[in-house]
Amino acid sequence: MTSWMPDDERGRLRLDAAKQTVESWGEHLRYDGDLHLHIGDDGSHESHKQELLDFATLNTLNFSGLSTSRQERHGVGASLNAGQKLAFEDVITPLTLYAVDDWSLTEPFDLNPWARVLREITDIGAVRLGPPHPGITGRVEHVGDNQWILDLCPDGGYVASQRPTLWHSRFFAELGNWKEDCSSLECEKDMNDRWYAANGKPRIALALPHPWDHIYTVDVSDVDPSR
């Protein structure tokens, strides 16, 4: 997660939202592997930063680790780059979840199917896990194990975004890191523009989770009842 909580009312409100969000992740995220929370801070007021860290320590006990980085007002892109550097180079995992500090989970969410998609389908670089932006389009694709995605098209709207997304390191190996020293809106637009310039490669998928479990028994779909 990234954070910026200045010493004013905005900072207090952002801190309260971040605490609610972290608590929801600790309660609802499901993953068979290790979950490590990294907080990339962009120069928050020290007391806010420490309060968030203390809260996260108590509310992510099912996570394998907790770490922080800090830079002084270089933007959300710098915070994202610091966290991904830790994951890709130090923790040695190709997968990072940017769940965003003000997007709270309201129910259990299983990361395993979407992590599998990124491990097995090597031309997909990211799986978006939250609400899509208006206007984006795609093609429905079955990716095995009763899981479905929308293969997003580079034909309009924000596809590469800073809404909740599970990223693979191959995405940034091909397109580069997030833009730093700019607003979050400019940072997001810059990555989206680069993805469009690369003709939508690596692919970005929108996860289509559902509560239905197909019970595979005997396939009778080709049986003609007149015979």
Domains, the chain: 2-207 (3.90.550.10)
The count of residues in the chain is 227
Band (pLDDT 50/70/90 cuts) for residue 214 is confident
Does residue 46 carry a pLDDT above 80? yes
Contact between 36 and 63 (Cβ < 8 Å): yes
Does residue 215 carry a pLDDT above 70? yes
Residue 36 is predicted with a pLDDT of 93
Q: What are the CA-CA distances from residue 2 to residues 56, 72, 184, 214 (Å)?
A: 13, 13, 11, 38
Q: What token pair was written down for 17?
A: 């939202």
Q: Sort 200 into a burial class: Cβ within 10 Å, 0-12 / 13-18 / 19+.
A: middle
Does residue 122 carry a pLDDT above 90? yes
For the chain, give the mean pLDDT.
94
User: Mean pLDDT over residues 72-79, rounded?
Assistant: 96
Question: Beta-strand (E) ranges in the chain?
Answer: 2-3, 29-30, 36-41, 65-70, 95-98, 109-110, 124-128, 138-142, 148-152, 165-168, 203-207
Does residue 91 carry a pLDDT above 70? no
Question: For 140-189, how does the pLDDT look when each residue is reduced to its tens digit (9 = 90+)?
Answer: 999 999 999 999 999 989 999 999 999 999 999 999 999 999 999 999 99
How many Å apart are CA 60 and CA 56, to the nearest integer? 6
pTM of the model: 0.93
